[in-house]
Amino acid sequence: MQKITKSIIHVWVSLASMAAFMFGWAIFAHTEKPAPLIVQQPPSMQLEVPSLEPIPSIDELVQSSSQSMQIFQKPASSLPRLRARGS
Amino acid sequence: MEFDEFSAMNTVVQVAAEGNPIDLQLGFAQVRQFIAECEGQFSRFLPSSELTQLNQSAGRWFQASPEMFEIIQEALDLYILTDGLFDPSIMNSLIQAGYDQSMDKLRRMASVPIIPGFAYKRIPLEEILLDAERHAIHLPVGMQIDLGGIAKGWVAAKAANLLSRYTHATTVSVGGDMVFVGVPASQTTWRVSLEDPRDEQCMLAVLHVGAGSLATSTITRRRWMQGNQPRHHIIDPRTGAPAEINWLSISVYTEKATYAEAFAKALLIAGPTGAAGLATRLPNLNFIAVRQDGSLVGTPASKELIYVPGDKQ
């Protein structure tokens, strides 16, 4: 008798667990899905990487301007005394 | 315009200012004295300097001067801002590469010996501890600091500030680090020759800049031979060896001298592939790089720095 009662309880617990699981699964499956956790930066926050551009050198400036010829054909001492020199 | 030029901190210092010559001579003398004091404080080649003492204290707290504390604090900020491409803790690598004495002495040597058995182990700069209340610095064991360029930028800014008591327009250049305060009365900008890194007698462009800082970093000036290998002083902190540099030099123009200096080094290491992106980290930063063939390349707005003959500027 005790053995039968034990078996019934086992079956009942198993069925109840399964039913509870199915019920929970059904509830969660039908609820609204949360928004994805991807934060979109506003356009103003997105940094664009600028491309590097060629810059005219003295020689090119000399070729493109007759006035510059007059300036740069002077001796080097006429160029600014201050120098951007690396170290 | 009054000029002064002298050697200090293992480099050339240029000072220019507009104003009463007698006042300016007094200002120039103060600048010379100030820079001599700074050299005694920040040189890694002087056994008695504060920097040498700081390096010797690695592993314990060091009571620093306010000036040293300020520079180390800025170095930490710049290390983060440049993703670690600017890193003053590369001193062991410099020594390994043979830069263990002043450049003046190094240049007189045909070649320095190779030091065997060096394994580079990078210690993150974040491991430096700072106590702002006590002005105390704690370097982790094994870390050695070389303030080289950042100290020059810092010194140039302080010296220019010192001179600004005597003039409305002054510029101070310490090595490659130039600081501009105000502009000369008859002009709207300062004009600066951009030296050709391949030949210091030649100029590649004339830049015109307003108040701010212009730092130039190059691999062609501080060079030496180690064994039969050519070496330069720009160490890539990621490898601990002299960086493989694509550009010959880079000039960075921005507000603050220490930032211009640190970014010049970091951008030179980042090279053509990484420099444009890195430059966006700092608002109002523009740079001009010199390629191997002497042509110039830079941020789009850097074209505005080039003086075009015939302009009213």
What is the distance between the alpha carbons of residues B160 and B248, in angstroms, rounded to a whole number?
Answer: 28
Among candidates B216, B249, B288 on the partner chain, residue whose Cβ is nearest the Cβ of A55: B288
Please give the angle made by the CA atoms of B311, B294 and B84, to the nearest 5 degrees: 100
The answer on pLDDT for A72 being more than 70 is: no
Whether residue A76 lies within 8 A of chain B, CB to CB, comes out as: yes
Beta bridge partners of B171: B16, B180
The first and second tokens of residue B41, run together, are 């404080």
Quick check: B4 and B28 in contact, CB under 8 A? yes
Inter-chain CB proximity A84 and B299 less than 8 Å: no
Whether residue A39 lies within 8 A of chain B, CB to CB, comes out as: no
Pick the residue of B174, B181, B308 with the most A CBs within 10 A to test the interface with A by mutation: B308
Q: How does pLDDT run along chain B (313 residues), one tens digit per residue?
A: 899 999 999 899 999 999 999 999 999 999 999 999 999 999 999 999 999 999 999 999 999 999 999 999 999 999 999 999 999 999 988 888 888 888 888 888 888 888 887 788 899 999 999 999 999 999 999 999 999 889 999 999 999 999 999 999 999 999 989 999 999 998 899 999 998 999 888 889 999 999 999 999 999 988 888 888 888 889 999 999 899 999 999 999 999 999 999 999 999 999 999 998 999 999 999 999 999 999 999 998 888 888 876 555 4
The first and second tokens of residue B256, run together, are 């603050």
Please give the angle made by the CA atoms of B252, B163 and B182, to the nearest 5 degrees: 55
* Shortest Cα–Cα distance, A36 to chain B (Å): 29
pLDDT digits (tens, 9 = 90+) for B102-147: 888 888 888 888 888 778 889 999 999 999 999 999 999 999 999 9
Mean pLDDT value across residues A2-18: 91
In a domain, B312, yes or no: no
Sign of CA dihedral B7, B72, B68, B258: positive
Q: CA nearest A49: which of B253, B281, B94?
A: B281
Inter-chain CB proximity A52 and B289 less than 8 Å: yes
Q: Where do the structural domains in chain A lie, given as residue ranges?
A: 1-29
Residue range of the domain that includes B210: 2-307
pLDDT (0 to 100) of residue A35: 59
Inter-chain CB proximity A57 and B294 less than 8 Å: yes
pLDDT (0 to 100) of residue A71: 36
Instruction: Name every chain B residue with its beta carbon within 8 A of the beta carbon of A70.
Output: 309
* Shortest Cα–Cα distance, A47 to chain B (Å): 7
Among candidates B3, B217, B309 on the partner chain, residue whose Cβ is nearest the Cβ of A72: B309
The first and second tokens of residue A52, run together, are 């590097």
pLDDT digits (tens, 9 = 90+) for A12-71: 999 999 999 999 999 988 887 765 555 455 554 445 666 777 877 666 665 554 443 333
Q: Distance from first CA to last CA of chain A, Å, rounded?
A: 98
What is the distance between the alpha carbons of residues A71 and B261, in angstroms, rounded to a whole number?
Answer: 31
The DSSP result for chain B, as a single string, is -EEEEEEETTEEEEEEEES-HHHHHHHHHHHHHHHHHHHHHH-SS-TTSHHHHHHHTTTSEEE--HHHHHHHHHHHHHHHHTTTSS-TT-HHHHHHTT--S-HHHHHT-S-B----S----PPPGGG-EEETTTTEEEPPTT-----HHHHHHHHHHHHHHHHTTT-SEEEEEETTEEEEES--TT-SSEEEEEEETTEEEEEEEEEEE-SEEEEEEESSSSEEEETTEEEES-EETTTTEE---SSSEEEEEES-HHHHHHHHHHHHHHHHHHHHHHHTTSTT-EEEEE-TTS-EEE-GGGGGGBPPTT---
Inter-chain CB proximity A50 and B299 less than 8 Å: yes
Instruction: Name every chain A residue with its beta carbon within 8 A of the beta carbon of B4.
Output: none
In a domain, B114, yes or no: yes
Whether residue A74 lies within 8 A of chain B, CB to CB, comes out as: no
Phi/psi of residue B113, nearest 5 degrees: -70, 155
Pick the residue of B5, B295, B311, B313 with the most A CBs within 10 A to test the interface with A by mutation: B295
Q: How many domains does chain B have?
A: 1
Instruction: Name every chain B residue with its beta carbon within 8 A of the beta carbon of A67.
Output: 309-310
Contacts of B186 (CB under 8 A, 6+ apart): none
pLDDT (0 to 100) of residue A86: 77
Residue whose structure tokens are 């190059």: B218
pLDDT (0 to 100) of residue B89: 95
In a domain, B313, yes or no: no
Task: Tell me the residue ranges of DSSP E strands in A1-87.
Answer: 53-55, 83-84
**Structure pTM?**
0.81
What is the distance between the alpha carbons of residues B164 and B183, in angstroms, rounded to a whole number?
Answer: 11
* Shortest Cα–Cα distance, A48 to chain B (Å): 8
State the CATH number of the domain containing residue B50.
Answer: 3.10.520.10
Inter-chain CB proximity B204 and A47 less than 8 Å: no
Q: CA nearest B312: which of B167, B138, B186?
A: B186
In a domain, B240, yes or no: yes
In a domain, B50, yes or no: yes
pLDDT (0 to 100) of residue A64: 52
